Chains A and B, each alone.
Chain A
């Protein structure tokens, strides 16, 4: 009898392991299904005005989804114009900041004696809140151009640049220096010059870390662009439109821009993941 029980237990344990293996398929399904269910439930609660009851609000401050959709459709040209402004701030800042951060990381990795301070400075920038530097930079850039649109752009881009540079610099430095044991000895045995070691070992080694940085800094660049638009002088940009419309109590329009901001964020992330799956395929 006892023997039988033990056999059953062993049988059970085996099937558990098998189940973990088989569940891979289910894991894939649930990662798609859960967000869909969540979305459907949210839409239901929203359209059925149940959310409104829970939060003690009305369809004026929290307009129904079809109304938001209508406004988005009717104001497509204006929304696209504002999206263009926000996206260009985010992209320009992201590119300049990431390159700058990477450059600082390379210098720190190549010349640790004098370069190590670089990532430390970037780390300091990383801890500065956007809401704190955005207004300050807006003031600093006041004399840069006679055009309000241009000086406003520059100030926003600088904020995004700082945030992205910090993120890229810290991650890239790890990627350039955290190298498999003996790799550097291997390059030394073949008398590889420093730039060859950089080019053939350090740079390729840092690629996964670059994506780690981008997974944070791509959404952060959009968020930063939107937040710094709040403080900007010039009133173009998705973030600024959210603020303006709330101030004017045009909540439906404000929500249309909030939805736009969400779509920009999701689109950027999807593009990034597509790049990652192509470029990092050989690393995994």
Chain B
């Protein structure tokens, strides 16, 4: 990633402190300085309690930082959010039971007031992309967990957002489904060239998917290293068997501070 690219997201001295039950300050995140380029695939990696989800939510304006600030495309996260330039894939597939898969994918477009025909065409396109074309008129409960998460991803891409936030989207899935979705995600990302921020606690997942890994350490949550992942793209699953992949995994593992990862 040596070539000059436009910087899209900047965080400066970002920190989040909240009060616990006994009114004591708990530092969830402190002093995060980060620059993310347009079209980059960034993994936020760390053990639980390191503030990676908090960092993601601050950038997506789902949470207010208590210190420092975030700039996205020269604006505040709130301004960017109100322009509907974000997509977010949550840990669980947040599909509405009373809507068919297709109608769920159309939801963001409905909120934006797109026309019926446009919504339908775009939803069909997204269903095709994630391989759920035959399930368009099924209800979420009729789908498996992996299929639900695919519908979730289709919905996030449907609005063609500039920035896509993904918060451990595959952590509840089995290994086979996960690998399939990894490949799908990389394919979709290449085709659409989004900026993706991907939270995970799985080192292999982070290395396989991302351009750079931001390693976060806990107590207090902080950015402890940024590791460049210089594996050539497009990547296939065989990459995981290469020596270089193993070396990168080791490098990431060794960059945790505080020895919290064995």
Instruction: Please state if B62 and A204 are interface contacts (CB–CB under 8 Å).
Output: no
- A-chain residues with CB within 8 Å of residue B41 when the two chains form the complex: none
Quick one: which of A186, A187, A200 has the most chain B CB within 10 A?
Answer: A186
Question: Is residue A75 contacting chain B, with contact meaning CB distance below 8 A?
Answer: no
Question: Is residue B33 contacting chain A, with contact meaning CB distance below 8 A?
Answer: no
Question: Is residue A128 contacting chain B, with contact meaning CB distance below 8 A?
Answer: no
Question: Is residue B111 contacting chain A, with contact meaning CB distance below 8 A?
Answer: yes
The complex places the Cα of A185 from the Cα of B108 at a distance, in Å, of 13
> Are A185 and B62 also in contact (CB < 8 A) when A191-B81, A200-B107, A200-B111 are?
yes
- B-chain residues with CB within 8 Å of residue A189 when the two chains form the complex: 60, 62, 81, 86-88
- A-chain residues with CB within 8 Å of residue B60 when the two chains form the complex: 189
Question: Is residue B171 contacting chain A, with contact meaning CB distance below 8 A?
Answer: no
Question: Is residue B159 contacting chain A, with contact meaning CB distance below 8 A?
Answer: yes
Stretch at the interface among A146-154, A175-183, A223-231: A175-183
Instruction: Please state if B84 and A190 are interface contacts (CB–CB under 8 Å).
Output: yes
Stretch at the interface among B21-29, B91-99, B115-123: B91-99
The complex places the Cα of A181 from the Cα of B86 at a distance, in Å, of 19
Instruction: Please state if A282 and B98 are interface contacts (CB–CB under 8 Å).
Output: yes
Question: Is residue A283 contacting chain B, with contact meaning CB distance below 8 A?
Answer: yes
* Min CB gap B55→A, angstroms: 15
Q: Select one of A186, A188, A201, A283 contacting B81, CB under 8 A.
A: A188
Q: How many A-B residue pairs have CB under 8 A?
A: 57
As a 0/1 sequence over residues 184 to 217 of chain A, the CB contacts with chain B under 8 angstroms (1 = contact) are 0111111110001000110011010000000000
As a 0/1 sequence over residues 63 to 94 of chain B, the CB contacts with chain A under 8 angstroms (1 = contact) are 00000000000000000011110111011101
Q: Count of chain B residues with Cβ under 8 Å from any Cβ of A?
A: 25
- A-chain residues with CB within 8 Å of residue B108 when the two chains form the complex: 190
> Are A185 and B90 also in contact (CB < 8 A) when A191-B82, A191-B84 are?
yes
Name which residue of chain A comes closest to B86, CB basis: A189
> Are A182 and B91 also in contact (CB < 8 A) when A190-B84, A282-B98 are?
yes
Q: Select one of A181, A182, A190, A204 contacting B111, CB under 8 A.
A: A190
The complex places the Cα of A158 from the Cα of B202 at a distance, in Å, of 61
Question: Is residue B110 contacting chain A, with contact meaning CB distance below 8 A?
Answer: yes
- A-chain residues with CB within 8 Å of residue B98 when the two chains form the complex: 204-205, 207, 282-283
Instruction: Please state if A196 and B111 are interface contacts (CB–CB under 8 Å).
Output: yes
Instruction: Please state if B139 and A182 are interface contacts (CB–CB under 8 Å).
Output: no
The complex places the Cα of A190 from the Cα of B88 at a distance, in Å, of 9
As a 0/1 sequence over residues 243 to 284 of chain A, the CB contacts with chain B under 8 angstroms (1 = contact) are 000000000000000000000000000000000000000111
- B-chain residues with CB within 8 Å of residue A282 when the two chains form the complex: 97-98, 139
> Are A182 and B94 also in contact (CB < 8 A) when A189-B87, A190-B112 are?
yes
> Are A186 and B139 also in contact (CB < 8 A) when A191-B82, A201-B96 are?
no
- B-chain residues with CB within 8 Å of residue A187 when the two chains form the complex: 111
Instruction: Please state if A180 and B62 are interface contacts (CB–CB under 8 Å).
Output: no
Name which residue of chain A comes closest to B161, CB basis: A189
Instruction: Please state if B159 and A190 are interface contacts (CB–CB under 8 Å).
Output: yes
- A-chain residues with CB within 8 Å of residue B107 when the two chains form the complex: 190, 200
The complex places the Cα of A25 from the Cα of B32 at a distance, in Å, of 61
Quick one: which of B86, B90, B98 has the most chain A CB within 10 A?
Answer: B98
- B-chain residues with CB within 8 Å of residue A180 when the two chains form the complex: 92, 94
The complex places the Cα of A182 from the Cα of B87 at a distance, in Å, of 13
Name which residue of chain A comes closest to B60, CB basis: A189
> Are A283 and B90 also in contact (CB < 8 A) when A190-B108, A190-B159, A191-B81 are?
no
Instruction: In the A-B complex, list the 6 residue pairs whose CB atoms are closest, starting with the nearest.
Output: A182-B90, A189-B88, A182-B94, A190-B108, A204-B98, A190-B111
10 contacts between A and B (CB under 8 A): A181-B94, A182-B92, A186-B88, A186-B90, A191-B111, A192-B111, A196-B111, A200-B96, A283-B98, A284-B141
Q: A189-B87, A190-B86, A191-B82 are in contact. List 15 more A-B contacts (CB 8 A).
A: A180-B92, A182-B90, A186-B90, A188-B61, A188-B62, A189-B81, A190-B108, A191-B83, A191-B84, A201-B96, A204-B98, A205-B98, A207-B98, A282-B139, A284-B141
